[in-house]
Amino acid sequence: MRQSKFYVPTLKENPAEAEVQSHRLLIRAGYIRKVAAGVYTFLPLGKRSLQKIENIVREEMNRFGAQEILMPALQPKELWEKTGRWDAYGPMMMKLKDRKGRDFALGPTHEELITTLVSLDVRSYKELPLNLYQIQPKFRDEPRPRFGLIRAREFIMKDAYSFDVDEDGLKESYEKMRKAYNNVFRRVGLKFIAVKAHTGLIGGSDSEEFMALAEIGEDSIFVCSNCGYAANRELAKSKFTYKWPEEDRALTKMHTPARMSVNDVAQFLSVPETMLIKTMIYRTEKGYVAAVIPGDREAVETKIQTALGVNNVELINPDDFEKLGLPFGYVGPVGLKEILPGVVIVIDERIVDFKNGVTGANEKDYHLTGVTYGRDFVADIVADIAEAKDEDACPNCGEAIKEEKAIEVGHIFQLGTKYSESLDACFLNEKGERKPFFMGCYGIGVSRILSAAVEQNNDDRGMFLPLPIAPFELHLLLLNPADKLLKNTAENLYELLSNNGFEVLYDDREDVTPGVKFSDADLIGIPLQIIVGKKFLEESKVEIKIRSTGERVLVSTENLIEYLNDWKNNEYSKFSAVYEG
């Protein structure tokens, strides 16, 4: 492709609207343009990268037996009402009406559609297992679109759905997708890690997320480098122990005026924060919950959801405290049920041995000391509800776990019969009995991969995508088109490289200085630059610059193709699949 005719509007300055590197660079380098918050156009460079990512995804899905289809973005309300998700998804769905006033949504996901589809066409166990996927835009009216492509309201997603006769079949399908996903993320060149995950709105039992490591990641994951344990903060288990005073102390009410925070109380009473027990009050669809956790840790709402089997968990606000007759900042589990009848008390499993702790006294300006679990109060539920922290002990092997920030680029779920039952999607088994499909669903944020890759591969001059997803393989720079020899050389090289199967962007622009070409090239970040300029005149060799490392070598034109083939093979071998289909 001749750059003089190629639409690559690069920007010299950072766009004011973009804060994170990947967002800035994708705009500056002419990969994307914003249309509205969380809505983007892909320019030729961006589209080419996207296409490469899609093809890798496609190849791996096909390799593991999935078949590509295409479903509409536009979906009628009725389907969503059957599963109850028209309301559950709520404002996250982009809703609209047709001219007759019929309600539609732009699909945020496709479980309803695919399940209905398959239930109509698949009648027998003989046709199972089946795995169907598509690559297509999804619409989610995110409360807060962010970071360009990373949290967009319209984005490209690969979603796959598997249908099996039973649990074992589902596990097998799931396992295949796990392999496919590992291949995909290796092949697109991301530094990633697979973690245990919370299922959220999609539902189902088991799920794993594929996380691209990045500072700006919105997720926290905990990873054990010793045994390989890895989990999202939303459900990461960890071991930690706090020391409690041995002797039996009496429950004592202490005057702690205007000391509401853990920190204040600990200082005031001259005890470590770990002696304090926090009580957080949440509202759920089944009533109030008091989460009793260590003073120096946060409660994790998704863990509370799991422990109680509820969907909504919301911290109550200070106004609510007053209405409920609770003293804000002084709530504790002892005697709580008398003030708030019906409250479910949940205690974190790692502190059930606590003795002589400090809690709120449920009275303004007072705390209790000497609080001992089992003696002074008992919880209704003992569960893992407190957050894990960096350097906690691994739940499996006991080594220290590390916290990492990451971007979720893929998520696989074992749904079971959640959707097939609510949509009455059944098949006949060998005995002629009607059975609901066992389903799995599997998502990849295709456009998000692009952002994540840029986030992992950039410097102060621009980005450098891994070869498998870079828009071109080579960037041929003709520095001085006015020089006949140089121009001829570059033109010939362009033809030679193209004829040898390389994807080349050829900067043949005549009205642009070398400095601009260098800057644009580094910004756009095509993996390898071939520079035809002064050095060629001096040494009769072209200069090759590896964008990511800045490394430069001189290669004669005769040896160029061989050199490039070696480089290319070597580069691709770094990003090869690990699982066979």
Partner RNA sequence: CGGGGCGUGGCGCAGUUUGGUCAGCGCACCUGCCUUGGGAGCAGGGGGUCGGAGGUUCAAGUCCUCUCGCCCCGACCA
Residues between 108 and 127 with contacts to RNA, criterion CB under 7 A: none
Number of residues written out for the chain: 581
Question: If DSSP codes are grouped into helix, strand and coil, which group holds residue 579?
Answer: coil
| Residue 302 engages RNA in binding (rule: CB under 7 A) | yes
Which residue among 534, 555, 561, 581 contacts RNA (CB under 7 A)? 534
| Residue 92 engages RNA in binding (rule: CB under 7 A) | yes
CB of 345: closest distance to RNA in angstroms? 21
The span of 75-83, 201-209, 379-387, 429-437 binding RNA (CB under 7 A) equals 201-209
The span of 49-57, 409-417, 420-428, 497-505 binding RNA (CB under 7 A) equals 409-417
Toward RNA, which CB reaches closer, 314 or 322? 314
Toward RNA, which CB reaches closer, 46 or 357? 46
**566 φ, ψ to 5°?**
-60, -45
| Residue 397 engages RNA in binding (rule: CB under 7 A) | no
Q: How far apart are the first and last CA of the chain?
A: 35
Rounded distance between C-alpha atoms, residue 175 and residue 129, angstroms? 13
Count CA atoms closer than 13 A to 540's CA, side-chain side. 2
Sign of CA dihedral 516, 519, 520, 521: positive
Task: Identify the H or E element spanning 48.
Answer: helix 44-63
| Residue 13 engages RNA in binding (rule: CB under 7 A) | yes
The span of 126-134, 164-172, 249-257, 514-522 binding RNA (CB under 7 A) equals 514-522
Task: Identify the H or E element spanning 453.
Answer: helix 446-456
| Residue 460 engages RNA in binding (rule: CB under 7 A) | no
Rounded distance between C-alpha atoms, residue 553 and residue 411, angstroms? 42
Residues 424-453 that bind RNA (CB under 7 A): 443-445, 447-448
Number of Cβ atoms within 10 Å of the Cβ of 178: 18
Residues 24-53 that bind RNA (CB under 7 A): 28, 34, 36-38
Toward RNA, which CB reaches closer, 58 or 364? 58
Which residue among 111, 164, 209, 571 contacts RNA (CB under 7 A)? 209
Which residue among 18, 71, 496, 546 contacts RNA (CB under 7 A)? 18
Toward RNA, which CB reaches closer, 140 or 350? 140
The span of 171-179, 183-191, 236-244, 509-517 binding RNA (CB under 7 A) equals 509-517
Q: What is the DSSP string of 128-177?
A: --EEEEEEEEEE---SS-BTTTTB-SEEEEEEEEEEESSHHHHHHHHHHH
Q: Where are the alpha helices (DSSP H) in 309-440?
A: 318-324, 336-339, 418-422
Toward RNA, which CB reaches closer, 220 or 429? 220
Reduced DSSP (H G I as helix, E B as strand, rest coil) percent helix, strand, coil of the chain, to 5: 30, 30, 40
Which residue among 314, 380, 399, 495 contacts RNA (CB under 7 A)? 314
Rounded distance between C-alpha atoms, residue 395 and residue 510, angstroms? 63
CB of 119: closest distance to RNA in angstroms? 22
CB of 111: closest distance to RNA in angstroms? 11
Rounded distance between C-alpha atoms, residue 231 and residue 223, angstroms? 7
Toward RNA, which CB reaches closer, 129 or 217? 217
Which residue among 128, 157, 289, 470 contacts RNA (CB under 7 A)? 157
Rounded distance between C-alpha atoms, residue 64 and residue 120, angstroms? 24
Distance set, CA 307 to CA 54, 140, 354 (Å): 38, 28, 20
The span of 152-160, 269-277, 369-377, 395-403 binding RNA (CB under 7 A) equals 152-160
CB of 209: closest distance to RNA in angstroms? 6
| Residue 94 engages RNA in binding (rule: CB under 7 A) | no
Rounded distance between C-alpha atoms, residue 276 and residue 51, angstroms? 54
Instruction: State which amino acid sits at residue 16.
Output: A
Rounded distance between C-alpha atoms, residue 133 and residue 66, angstroms? 7
Which residue among 57, 277, 334, 531 contacts RNA (CB under 7 A)? 531
Residues 221-280 that bind RNA (CB under 7 A): none
| Residue 546 engages RNA in binding (rule: CB under 7 A) | no
The position carrying tokens 């009406």 is: 97
The pair of three-digit structure tokens given for residue 327, joined into one six-digit string: 């003293």
Task: Identify the H or E element spanning 44.
Answer: helix 44-63
Toward RNA, which CB reaches closer, 141 or 354? 141
| Residue 96 engages RNA in binding (rule: CB under 7 A) | no
| Residue 12 engages RNA in binding (rule: CB under 7 A) | yes
Which residue among 74, 96, 201, 397 contacts RNA (CB under 7 A)? 201
